[in-house]
Chain A
Amino acid sequence: MEKELWKGNEAIAEAAIRAGCKYFFGYPITPQTEVPEYLSLHLPEIGGCFLQAESEVAAINMVYGAGGCGVRVMTSSSSPGISLKQEGITYLCGSEVPCVIINVMRGGPGLGTIQPAQGDYYQATRGGGNGDYRTPVLAPANVQEAADFVRMAFDIADIYRNPVMVLADGMIGQMMEAVEWHDIEKRELPAKPWATTGTQGKREHNVINSLYIQPEPCAEHNEKLEKKYKLIEEKETRYEEIDAEGCEVLFTAYGTTSRVCRAAMKLLADEGIKAGLFRPITVWPFPYAQLKKAAAQNSVKAVVVAELSLGQMIDDVKIALEGSKPISFIGKAGGLVPTPREVADAAKKAIGR
């Protein structure tokens, strides 16, 4: 298959079109703006609709309306804009409306910086909106994965009637790499009898809604959602291990940071230290059991967590390891990326070398 050179953001947008998404509602914000730009040109060509909303709040609510009608729909933003979307995301989850949300993360808090960061990990994996809800979160580490994961995200969203987030960062959004538009795994997708397509006088009215004013039905609704989240944990947890077998140091990192770890692994190899990488691909559901198993090898002396934030994913690593192995941390926030040397040195320190 022919390789094509794609900018991350544009690959994300093109992947949405290839997934059959004809509708996009968004608002400009660096470093994701190429997503709406690309779709503003190409969605009308396929009879779809691109609409620039007045705010991220409005955009996510447009997604809620559109998704409720049963169509594939997407929005994208970057960190501060994703904060604004939290209201809509909890409604989407509560109403079980499928959609895909792209976060091309930048540095925070507040307006922060436009450079790459991973500071929205808590927000993405714990949810920044109210209530007990979860969104599956796929974290690509390169442009090919960004293109693949967006397409996978639409399927996961439809299968579970739930929003799915693709969590990238400014580097993946802005960089260009080769992409092959190969087929992704074909999954069986359910019909959408719940969608508001007009009763046509043939059925009872459909209601897209998250309000359950009586506590008993609301509790029941929450339990139903919880069962769904458990099923997602069981079926959709994804991760990758690189040179983890027999390693002395096990890096744990996702997205862009996992690439820095791989560069650090090379430096360590030159110094005779065998380092491996455990990379969560879904950061929710987090591959707790798989990480614990990888770290349980006798060879592993330390687990080194690397982030473009100041210790967020490390909480999940602690949950996974249950105190079984020493954990150390290297991270930078605010738009800086640790160098492979810094990461390698952190690993050496962790194992006392």
Chain B
Amino acid sequence: MTNDIIISGFGGQGVMAIGKTLTEAGMKEGKEVSWLPSYGPEMRGGTANCSVVLSDELIVSPIVLEPSELIAMNLPSLIKFEPTVKKGGTIFVNSSVVDQKVTRTDVRAVYVDCIKIAEELGNSKVANMVMLGAYIEAMKNLSTDTIKEMLVHMFTGPKAKLVDLNIEALKRGAACVK
């Protein structure tokens, strides 16, 4: 089982963080993992993306040309990567900012109103965690418990209160998957 994932969006939307969280969670669950960012001028405000591979076997190449899953956090990302997604793959769309639908009929589309949900939770910064919750619910390739453990590890001291907020964000994202 191998997941070839592309996560793409504007700089500042947390696309690199979604990728890193998926990668680290995969590693903690004993999978082979790799995370490869696009880097360069696009990091300074334009569209950024990263490729994540989670696999039960040795990853020969970290470059994802045909993703099994695409997480499109903005419209340019959907336009750019939709045609590359494998037949039968899944496209996650941040419907808060992408006002178009997936046009392909041979893939599964999951729409997540990331920003609206995050704002309902009182912190727009967790929009990417909402998306992550949706991804894990749809793909069932990782356990949310692993992510929860990582959150506990990540937010300590005065930041510990962010753990529950992030877990709630994951749940609300999961609820978007039908």
Contacts and interface: CB of A to CB of B under 8 A. Distances in A.
Determine whether A and B are in direct contact in the complex, meaning some CB atoms lie less than 8 angstroms apart.
yes
Given A177-B62, A259-B62, A114 B34 contact: no
B90 to A, nearest CB: 22
B40 A3 contact: no
A170 interface: yes
B62 A114 contact: no
A5 B61 contact: no
B148 interface: no
Given A5-B33, A176-B35, A340 B61 contact: yes
A259 B60 contact: yes
A123 interface: no
Given A259-B60, A260-B61, A337-B63, A176 B40 contact: no
Contacts of B40: 30, 114-115
Interface residues of B, number: 17
B27 A5 contact: yes
B39 to A, nearest CB: 5
B48 to A, nearest CB: 12
Interface string A33-60: 0000000000000000000000000000
B34 A177 contact: yes
Contacts of B20: 5, 176
Contacts of B61: 259-260, 262-263, 340
B36 interface: yes
Contacts of A31: 39
B8 to A, nearest CB: 16
A340 B4 CA distance: 15
Majority secondary structure of chain B interface residues (helix, strand, loop or mixed): mixed
A266 interface: yes
Nearest to A114: B40
Given A259-B61, A263-B60, A3 B27 contact: yes
A174 B62 CA distance: 11
A291 interface: no
B65 A171 contact: no
A56 to B, nearest CB: 20
A177 B35 CA distance: 7
Interface in A301-353: 337, 339-340
A174 B34 CA distance: 11
B23 interface: yes
B62 A5 contact: no
B24 interface: yes
A5 B23 contact: yes
A337 B37 CA distance: 15
Nearest to B20: A176
A178 interface: yes
A114 B44 CA distance: 14
A339 B62 contact: no
A337 B61 CA distance: 11
A289 interface: no
Interface of B: 20, 23-24, 27, 32-37, 39-40, 60-63, 65
19 contacts: A5-B23, A5-B35, A30-B39, A114-B40, A171-B36, A174-B36, A175-B35, A175-B37, A176-B20, A176-B33, A177-B35, A177-B62, A178-B33, A259-B60, A259-B61, A260-B61, A262-B61, A266-B60, A340-B61
Given A5-B33, A177-B62, 12 more contacts: A31-B39, A170-B39, A171-B63, A174-B37, A174-B39, A176-B34, A177-B35, A178-B33, A259-B60, A260-B61, A263-B60, A337-B63
